[in-house]
Amino acid sequence: MALPLALRVRALECLIETDPGAKTQGVAALAAAAAAGACSLDTAAVLHADDALVPGRPARPELVPPRLVGRRSMATPEGRAMLVHALAHIEFNAVNLALDAVWRFAGMPDAYYTDWLRVAAEEARHFDLLAAHLRALGWAYGDFPGHDSLWEMVAKTAGDVLARMALVPRTMEARGLDAIPPLRAKLAQAGDEAAARILDVLLRDEVGHVEIGNRWYFHLCALRGLEPVATYDALTAQYKAPVLKGPFNVAARRAAGFTDAELARFDADPLDA
């Protein structure tokens, strides 16, 4: 009988894969194997000592500062393609961050690893949907530049799973809950209904992804005897995380598990989803 696959070892192998298609296929295969009970949850293994591990990426897109990514006018096919490309790049990075959450942090409950593998599989599907739509528009992933701000926060929080949960899913990814509805409206108004439907999938799934981050953040705060709101503020200052600016999708944030105390900060500048 074949030995079970070590889930976290396989997640690390997927993380360092450079080809986007091979990465997303590998993640899908790993998720299917885990669902079939063919993976061992190697929760205690220390797999890597390098906090600065760079995820596998293709040679393109060129990575530039966010201000140099370029404007995305909905008035032209190229502008719409630039927006779809930017979203695909976010989802590609999101695959990597979910895989990093699986392999990097030892000693978490089994459900933590299955949660983040689910996130990796859904982000891989998002990337595939957007990359396919980009090809339908006449471009390919890598044809436009991208930025690396999401992964920069992943790298900053490599040493502490509490900081990771606070500042990546609850901060960086939660911004997508606010950004997706207006982007969907712009794409639909420009006549790209196919892209608008893809964004419906993204928003639905991202609520679940942020909820996973919230759930594990509150679990870790309780485990360490920390007050969640004050701890979040302290971590934001310590790691120089972005200061959130509205408008906010309060309904989506509530569905994703933000508390009433946190939502009270957002109610002054709500976004109608």
- For residue 172, being part of any structural domain is answered with yes
Count how many Cα atoms sit within 13 Å of the Cα of residue 48 in the half-sphere of its side chain: 21
What does the pLDDT read at residue 41?
82
Task: With respect to residue 2, please indicate whether it lies within any of the assigned structural domains.
Answer: no
- Domain count across the chain: 1
Inside any domain, residue 6 = no
Provide the pLDDT confidence category of residue 49 given band limits of 50, 70 and 90. very low
Tell me, yes or no, whether 271 lies in a domain: no
Q: Is the pLDDT of residue 62 over 70?
A: yes
Note the pLDDT tens digit of each residue in 205-237: 999 999 999 999 999 999 999 999 999 999 999
Integer angstrom CA distances of residue 103 from 14, 15, 147, 200: 10, 9, 24, 29
Beta bridge partners of 5: 39
Residue 140 lies in a domain: yes
- CATH assignment at residue 260: 1.20.1260.10
What is the rounded CA–CA span in Å between residue 224 and residue 226?
Answer: 6
- Judge whether residue 60 has pLDDT over 80: yes
- 148 in a domain, yes or no? yes
Note whether residue 46 is domain-resident. Answer: no
pTM given for the model: 0.92
Question: Is position 34 within any domain?
Answer: no
| Residue 81 structural domain | 72-266
pLDDT given at position 217: 98
